[in-house]
Amino acid sequence: MVSSRVLLSALLHHFACITWAAAETVAASSQASVAKLNAASGVQRLEAASLAFHTRSMQSAHLRANSKLKSSSSHGLRANVFRAARSVARARLQTQQAPAPLYIPTMGLANVTEPTPYPPPPPVLHPWEDHQPFDTAVGNYLISGFIAQPTVTPPPSQSSLDLAFACPALLTWPSEVVVSAPDPCAPDQWKGSWKGADGSDQITWTTSCIDTTSPGITPPSISPLTTYTIPGTGDLFGTSQERQTLTGSFIEIRDCGGAAIYTIEEKVYKQTGAPDPTACEKYKSCDGVIYFQYFVKDKQGKVVALTPYTTIFQDAFDITDPAGGLIVQISRNGWSPPDRKPDDCSSAQPRVWNLKYASSPPGIWSTATNQWPFAAMMTMLSHRDSARAPNGHVHLEACEIMKSVGYLGIISFVACCCVCTPMVVFLVCSAPLLRFMGELEQKLLPKRMGKPSIYGN
């Protein structure tokens, strides 16, 4: 009886072990299938539900086995096996229910570079830590001194540079402009302004003999410089100056940066024969008839405006484009350039030019803020007319004579320093220098008789 009980207990133990192994196999296979399903869809609840289903199946299998073996005396052993399987299943379920990572770790720049307030330096290899060869370590040491370091601030854009260094722009420009000319009755005849018909100041101009306002290096000229500034702020708007070349002279209008944007060329023609009675009587121009014509050219040298043939000191004329379209009408208010200073300046009329623009000028002149060069043109012509002779030529003024003498003095001084001084030094010091060098050669390298080392036949 005892042996039969022992045999029955052994059989039950063997059956329980087989059942537990089968449950473990089923749980492992279910875990693998759930892991694959999770990798495909990322759903964690399906894994937990599947594992719970298999756990309940294993528990029901154990319960059925226990119900068949109620009559045996090894009930405590089966309970221990069941509790062990249940604890293993519970632990595996808790392991499977751990939260999944929110991101997949990847290797990138953020893993190797620490955030800094300034741009990081370029990556380099360290000679000893990274086990560089000796030749690459030496090359890195020599070249690293020529590598530019990263900038703290990014370079400015072209638009920001254009805005920072742009010239002042005219927001409005009146259709009628009054340009003041050099006036002997004015407190300072070398200062004036451009005003609108309502008296509003547009631009103020100042003429000086020495150029102290033009930016950069400008070509030398003996003529005075006229500077245009914004009233109120005093910001530089542009300059104009007459330039002399081998082919002739012309007036150059520059912006605030010193770049030439327009040039004005003056042509003088003489018609022989009977003079103009009015010009001969009023301006003493009795040697034929003198005609003038002015051409306005852009920075490419293209003619964009011109005047018709005008006589000397003509009171009114028009400026048109090359096709004949009217741009502006110009007239004086009753004064003449040769007029001298009156005795009573209190009743004298100020000398001005009246500019009346067309309602719809052609080409680039249709924009009102592009029409200011004609005011600069009349300012420069007023200066030239104040020094114009009856034959049409412009004589030199005190400023031009002073600058001409100064340029000649500078050229003479440079010629003396570069040519005359070396010639004088050579003529005066050449003989003593030759004598000294000959004596020095005699002392250091005296002459000796040459003896052949090997006597020939």
Distance between CA atoms of residues 336 and 184, nearest Å: 12
Is the pLDDT reported for residue 421 higher than 90?
no
Distance between CA atoms of residues 306 and 311, nearest Å: 15
Q: What is the pLDDT of residue 373?
A: 92
Q: How far apart, in Å, are the Cα atoms of 99 and each of 45, 140, 199, 333?
A: 11, 48, 83, 95
Instruction: Specify whether the CB–CB gap between 253 and 228 falls below 8 A.
Output: no
Q: What is the pLDDT of residue 190?
A: 85
Instruction: Specify whether the CB–CB gap between 289 and 271 falls below 8 A.
Output: yes
Q: What is the pLDDT of residue 246?
A: 75
Q: What is the pLDDT of residue 308?
A: 93
Q: What is the pLDDT of residue 41?
A: 43
Is the pLDDT reported for residue 345 higher than 70?
yes
Candidates 269, 240, 114, 255; CA nearest to 179 is 240
Indicate the Cα dihedral angle 108, 112, 116, 122, nearest 10°. -90
Is the pLDDT reported for residue 104 higher than 80?
no
CB-neighbour burial class of residue 397 (10 A; exposed 0-12, middle 13-18, buried 19+): middle
Q: What is the mean pLDDT of residues 177-195?
A: 87
Q: What is the mean pLDDT of residues 222-240?
A: 89
Average pLDDT, the chain: 77
pTM: 0.60
Q: pLDDT class for 25, splitting at 50, 70, 90?
A: low
Domain boundaries of the chain, sorted by first residue: 7-96, 178-338+349-395
Least confident of 44-58, 295-309, 375-389: 44-58
Q: What is the pLDDT of residue 42?
A: 42
Is the pLDDT reported for residue 204 higher than 60?
yes
DSSP state of 419: I
H-type helices in 259-369, by residue range? 277-283
Q: What is the pLDDT of residue 22?
A: 54
Is the pLDDT reported for residue 68 higher than 50?
no
Least confident of 8-17, 95-104, 238-247, 293-302: 95-104
